[in-house]
Amino acid sequence: MNDMIKEAKQQGLYDRVIAQVDMASELMSLNDTVRKILSKPFNEITVNFPVKLDSGKVEMFTGYRVQHNN
């Protein structure tokens, strides 16, 4: 278990979340089918939108919404 925690600290955010799902699944003795379902999002939405700053400059920003169950 400690090796999983050390490995998770060296990875990106998504990989850390998957490592946490794996650790929680192991602690709960969750069956592999449910673990597979929980490890992938059900729906992902990415939006890009312009924002006019106080300086008058326009910057593009990205927003995300991830849904894991319905």
- pLDDT of 22-59, one tens digit each? 899 999 999 988 888 877 888 999 999 999 999 999 99
The helix/strand count (H/E) of the chain reads as 3, 2
What pLDDT was estimated at residue 38?
A: 78
Domain extents in the chain: 2-67
Q: With contact defined as beta carbons under 8 Å apart, do 7 and 19 qualify? A: yes
What pLDDT was estimated at residue 5?
A: 59
Looking at the predicted structure, is the pLDDT value of residue 68 above 60? yes
Looking at the predicted structure, is the pLDDT value of residue 63 above 70? yes
